[in-house]
Amino acid sequence: MTRLLAVLLFLTPMVAQTGFDADRVRALWTKEARGETLTAEERKYLDAARAARKARTSGQAANNDATIRGDGSGETVRVPPVRIPLDQSPIETLTATAEDGGAIEALWRKPPGPGPFPAIIFIHGGLDRWNTRRMHNQLIGNPTHTRLLAAGYVVVASTFRSYKDDVQSRGPILDNQAVVAAVRTLDAVDAESVTVFGGSGGGSIALELAGLESPAAVVVGEPATVLYTGMLTTGAYGPRIDMMANPSKYFTPEIRTNAVAKLRAVRCPILVLHGDVHPLKEMNNELFRPAMDEAGVDYEWKLFPGQEHGFYTGHKADLMTIERVVSEIRQFVEPKLQVQPTAFTPGP
């Protein structure tokens, strides 16, 4: 069963309870996910069904902070992955040891053949460690991961120790330093052609690695710069949404000076993928981007209008958006690689 079908089966009874025709909603949802154009009437009907479902379920999620959906929790992925059989591209395990002795596990897949291939390491968002099953599901079911695998990249799903109790912990950074080092030693990977991709909280970690390692490039999706800059501390974790929406209240001259100093240590080009919906747009566009300019960071900033947090790995994104995400990544990264990817045709 595809992820799309699983989502539709889950939603069908919920939509039916709102008074909409579940079969029609399912058909329109599938049409949208395939990148087909909806008529004005179809769009209106589908949007109304979504709104009704959201209103019905909002009480069930009263304790959830919807503004951080897509950072690794609560994703709604509509675009099907590229189906790549596991006998053609198995999932393998990589174990690394951080500088402080912490053990971390990542999963990875490679294109058919011995390589060497370029690699892209995905660091998820949020503050908690992911288990093996979640990383496994990303490698077989995520639309961004699987498209880059099919394009000829070794794709790595990485995680990190939880830092909910200490949001400025260096542990997650050390974990992913170790993962980068371990990926570079893989026979299937060209050590000079490794890219790090981080979204949200993982984007903060990726920015840290840009100043500590020398990957070919770093790609970040709406990075949680309230973490990277030191604005967010454990004691201030509660008002994080206000911090992102009204960052000028918290981005003191001292924090700005420290952020610019960190950015001056960046050793590789950075691609930023950003929407204009999540409150992070205020922090990142108005304050962090000028700090990048002052520090002389080599970067490109790509805006995705109307996209919600997590769109870069599929959250509420349509096919056109996912294809643009993959295209932007490849156009930015590939001129910087020593070994180029070679696309392959997935088996039946």
What is the DSSP pairing of strand 299-304 with strand 270-275? Answer: parallel
Shared domain check, 36 and 171: no
Domain assignment of residue 231, yes or no: yes
**What share of the chain has pLDDT > 90, as a percent?**
66
Q: Which residue has the higher pLDDT, 188 or 42?
A: 188
Shared domain check, 162 and 218: yes
Predicted pLDDT of residue 17: 47
Shared domain check, 273 and 319: yes
Domain assignment of residue 175, yes or no: yes
Provide the pLDDT confidence category of residue 65 given band limits of 50, 70 and 90: very low
CATH number at residue 229: 3.40.50.1820
Query: Alpha-carbon distance 217 to 165, whole Å?
Result: 30
For residue 302, give the nearest of 279, 327, 335, 283 by alpha carbon.
Answer: 327
- Per-residue pLDDT tens for 105-149? 999 999 999 999 999 999 999 888 999 999 999 999 999 999 999
Can you read off the two tokens belonging to residue 143?
């639309």
Provide the pLDDT confidence category of residue 13 given band limits of 50, 70 and 90: very low
Q: Are 283 and 244 in contact (CB under 8 A)?
A: yes
Q: Side chain identity at 180, as an amino acid letter?
A: V
Shared domain check, 195 and 51: no
Q: How many CA atoms lie within 13 A of 93 on its CB side?
A: 7
**What share of the chain has pLDDT > 70, as a percent?**
86
Shared domain check, 155 and 282: yes
Predicted pLDDT of residue 72: 66
Q: Are 161 and 346 in contact (CB under 8 A)?
A: no
Provide the pLDDT confidence category of residue 82 given band limits of 50, 70 and 90: very high
Q: Which residue has the higher pLDDT, 23 or 286?
A: 286
Q: Per-residue pLDDT averaged across 170-195, rounded?
A: 97
Predicted pLDDT of residue 167: 83
pLDDT exceeds 60 at position 63: no
pLDDT exceeds 80 at position 79: yes
Query: Alpha-carbon distance 195 to 213, whole Å?
Result: 11
Domain assignment of residue 75, yes or no: no
Cα separations (Å) of 231 from 124, 219, 235, 254, 270?
Answer: 21, 22, 11, 10, 21
Shared domain check, 328 and 210: yes
Count of structural domains, the chain = 2
Domain assignment of residue 254, yes or no: yes
The domain in which residue 170 lies consists of 92-336
Shared domain check, 190 and 108: yes
Point out the domain boundary residue: 42, 60, 78: 60
Shared domain check, 124 and 167: yes
Q: Which residue has the higher pLDDT, 90 or 249?
A: 90
Shared domain check, 221 and 145: yes
Domain assignment of residue 67, yes or no: no
Domain assignment of residue 165, yes or no: yes
For residue 167, give the nearest of 198, 126, 207 by alpha carbon.
Answer: 126
For residue 244, give the nearest of 221, 227, 262, 219 by alpha carbon.
Answer: 227
Predicted pLDDT of residue 202: 95
Shared domain check, 115 and 19: no
Shared domain check, 309 and 229: yes
Domain assignment of residue 273, yes or no: yes
E-strand stretches of the chain: 92-97, 103-109, 117-123, 154-158, 189-199, 217-221, 270-275, 299-304
- Give the chain's mean pLDDT: 87
| Mean pLDDT lowest among 63-77, 237-251, 281-295 | 63-77
Domain assignment of residue 136, yes or no: yes
Point out the domain boundary residue: 41, 60, 79: 60
Provide the pLDDT confidence category of residue 1 given band limits of 50, 70 and 90: very low
Predicted pLDDT of residue 20: 77
- Per-residue pLDDT tens for 199-217? 999 999 999 999 998 899 9
Shared domain check, 136 and 33: no
Query: Alpha-carbon distance 276 to 281, whole Å?
Result: 6
Alpha carbon 169 to its chain centroid, in Å, reads 21
Provide the pLDDT confidence category of residue 240 given band limits of 50, 70 and 90: confident
pLDDT exceeds 80 at position 241: no
Point out the domain boundary residue: 44, 60, 76: 60
- Per-residue pLDDT tens for 282-294? 999 999 999 999 9
Can you read off the two tokens belonging to residue 256?
């700005």
